[in-house]
Structure 1
């Protein structure tokens, strides 16, 4: 896809390809879609700089985890030519204790510039679900 003629569609394809590689997990494959100086901010404000950081973090929380995409939306910022991409859906997989999950909501927000992911922010329900499993939730889920 030509970034110059359809940067929004190209950015959506880049983000989805990055996420697909990340779910394998294949952090080296995912890295081909990101820029030098990548900024990743996970839930809780955790800061990472490469896809393998995310893989390492996820290994401490899940036996395995994948994403079921519901939507990928994008908008071009005409002042910067950045494309802001929003991918949302559900996480599914297995917690470290072996129990399955499938309705863990997430949204990932990306900035794509010149065909590379510059930054991403990741939000999901994992922490709330883990608090509930531990009996520490303030209200039922």
Structure 2
């Protein structure tokens, strides 16, 4: 039964400590074949006056937002076409790439690119997965299916997608999108042409 002990400075809330406990449990499970209930995580809080570095009392940094929740909020804002809210969640050097496009840096570019491809699209999520990269970014994958309408008003649904996001400093810095929309649309067009 693995036991992990963590010392943090005072000031982190219950939700921050829950996230730490879950993340440490998952980190152990990457290496040790143990069920989550077999892993014990103990978080010890250190009062601020008892922590010194360089002869100076130091305080803890604020917890970063949950990257999965940030991505969920961003996707909800995009689906609602609340572009101002969605843009507020993006980093300065944000880039996104969709199938068949060059990288885009503005949400307006995405809206213009998508306009002749479909009237609207909604996502049904099967899951979100988050992990820390070897660098500074947290990586979030979301996967599920797309539904909506083609430009002629014909409905579509059940189209697979997966999105990969990079999150740094509480902002989304990169979005990569893969889906079967082109293949499904191509099959639908071939069916329309057949006698």
TM-score > 0.5, shorter chain as reference: yes
- Identify the structure with bigger relative contact order (alpha carbons < 8 Å, sequence gap 6+): 1
Structure 2: runs of 5 or more not aligned: 1-14, 20-60
Alignment partner, residue 113 of structure 2: 57
Structure 1: runs of 5 or more not aligned: 137-141
Alignment partner, residue 81 of structure 1: 136
Deviation for aligned residue 1:28:
1.9
TM-score (structure 2 length as normaliser): 0.63
| Structure (1 or 2) with the greater strand fraction | 1
Deviation for aligned residue 1:134:
2.0
TM-score (structure 1 length as normaliser): 0.85
* Residues 48-57 or 80-89, more deviating: 48-57
Alignment partner, residue 76 of structure 2: 20
Task: Please list every run of at least 4 consecutive aligned residues from structure 1 whose deviation after the TM superposition is greater than 2 angstroms.
Answer: 1-7
CA distance in 2, matches of 1:52, 1:29: 13
Alignment partner, residue 135 of structure 1: 190
- 1:25/1:55 contact within 8 Å kept: no
Alpha-carbon deviations, 1:35-59, whole Å to 9, x = none?
0111111112432102222222222
2:161 is equivalent to residue 123 of structure 1: no
The secondary structure found in structure 2 opposite 1:134 is: helix
CA RMSD of aligned residues (A): 2.2
Alpha-carbon deviations, 1:68-92, whole Å to 9, x = none?
1111101012x42310000111111
Query: How many residue pairs were aligned?
Result: 134
CA distance in 2, matches of 1:87, 1:113: 17
2:154 is equivalent to residue 93 of structure 1: no
